Each structure stands twice: as C-alpha cells, then as structure tokens.
Amino acid sequence: MSLNIKSLIIILVLTGFLISCSKETIQSDSQNPNLFYPCQSCAYYPWCDQSSYVYIDSTGNIEETVEYDYRELGDSIINNVSYTSSLINYSFDTAFHLCDQNQTTVIYPDGNGQLLKYTLLKSDEPTGSTWRDSFPGNNSLHHIDYTLMAKSFNWRVGNYFFYDVINVKEKIYKINPADTITNSCFYARNVGLVEKITKDKNGFQTYHRVLSSYSFQ
C-alpha cells in the first residue's frame, strides 16, 4: 500500500477537529454513551487533547485492533486560516484540523510534500447535500464527492447504541491507476466516527471499521 493511500485511509477515518480544545473530562451517560458534556462545538467531531479511539478493522478474513491517540501541538496558519495541529499516536505525522459552524476540514501531508485538504462533514446541511474536494496536481487522488445521506437516526455499533447519527457517503476517484471506491461513514453526536464501510467500484465490501471504545480527557 502506497504512502499516499495510507494517508488517505488515516484521514478518512479520523475523528473531528477544532481550533481550541477544552481540557475538562467528559462525563458520559451509561444508558446513552453519546450524551455527555461536549468539549468542542463541532457536534459530530469532538476533539480534545489526549482523546483516544479504538477500532476493530476487518479486511476480508483479517481482523485487527487499531488505536488512535491525539496530542495537540498548537495552532498553525495555512493559507491565512488558523488550524489546530496535532500528533497522531505520538508519531511524526501531523494533521491540521478546523471546525467552523459544524463544518470539519482536515489538512494532512501526503508524504510527497503536498498538503491535502478534506472537507469531511457539513453536519448543519440538509439530507441530500453534496460537496466536493479536488486535488489538482496530486498523483494519486483526483477528487472526492460527498453526499449527506441521512441525519438524526439511531445506530447500533457493537455494544454501543447511538441516538443521533449522521451518514455521509464518500466517493473517491483515484488516478495512477484509475479506480473508484466508496466509503459509508457513520458519525455519532459528541463521539465522532463510529463505523465505516468501504466498497470497491463493483460494490463488493473490502473494509469494515467499527468503534470498540473511546475516551476523552
């Protein structure tokens, strides 16, 4: 798997981001795991320093556990816009995050000196809304089309039952070689990404991610 595609997979499954982050501990409701005091204003992309997510990833018959830990570094100015920069899993991978009026934007290095900007969610838009990210000059990605498929529904993921969920479809157009894949992403209010299903251009499922546990500090 190329570094470009690894970056794409990481960024499309990441949870949400914001310019500033409260340090308070989030209190959860055992009867409803996504009813707690949110630490940020991006409703479906809570982001705090030292937040952690554990997912179970399935590819064919292979299953593995993946954990993401986030550490804030501070603010960075990119094209005259202030983003929060964060380390992922204590590595040297730095992602830049912005939440503005419940629109989440992420900038991530592609490994070849180019910064790629993704508009992952516009949660205040009505069902059926569409938008696009284009990547001129990139040798792997051409564009991504997003569709807000459904809002405000309940969704069970493993042992969790979430009461306010958004479903976004991401259709990813790749080049060199040309290919198309589709992600169906489910985001729970005050939690973030809880499930993602990836299918190839023929509609066959190739990847499945489900949330196993999460914590905020």
**Domains plus CATH for the chain?**
3-215 (2.40.360)
Radius of gyration, CA atoms only, the chain? 16
44 or 6: whose pLDDT is higher? 44
| Confidence (pLDDT) at 5 | 41
Distances (CA, A) of 152 to 101, 159, 204: 18, 20, 27
Per DSSP, which regions of the chain are E strands?
28-29, 32-36, 52-59, 62-78, 81-88, 94-100, 103-109, 115-122, 130-134, 141-157, 160-174, 179-188, 192-199, 205-215
Report helix, strand or coil for 11.
helix
| Confidence (pLDDT) at 177 | 92
pTM value is 0.80
| Confidence (pLDDT) at 197 | 98
| Confidence (pLDDT) at 9 | 43
Cα–Cα distance measured from residue 117 to residue 114, given in angstroms and rounded to the nearest whole number: 10
């209010």: which residue's tokens?
189
pLDDT 10s digits, 149-181:
999 999 999 889 999 999 999 999 999 999 999
Q: Are 51 and 192 in contact (CB under 8 A)?
A: no
Average model confidence (pLDDT) for the chain? Answer: 80
* Closest alpha carbon to 39 in 192, 173, 157: 192
pLDDT 10s digits, 92-101:
578 888 888 8
Considering only 13-17, 51-55, 205-209, 213-217, which range has the smallest mean pLDDT?
13-17
pLDDT bucket at 6, cuts 50 / 70 / 90 = very low
60 or 174: whose pLDDT is higher? 174
Cα–Cα distance measured from residue 159 to residue 138, given in angstroms and rounded to the nearest whole number: 40
Output DSSP code: residue 158: T
pLDDT 10s digits, 69-127:
878 777 888 888 888 777 877 665 788 888 888 888 888 887 777 889 999 999 999 99
Phi and psi, residue 148, nearest 5°: -80, 105
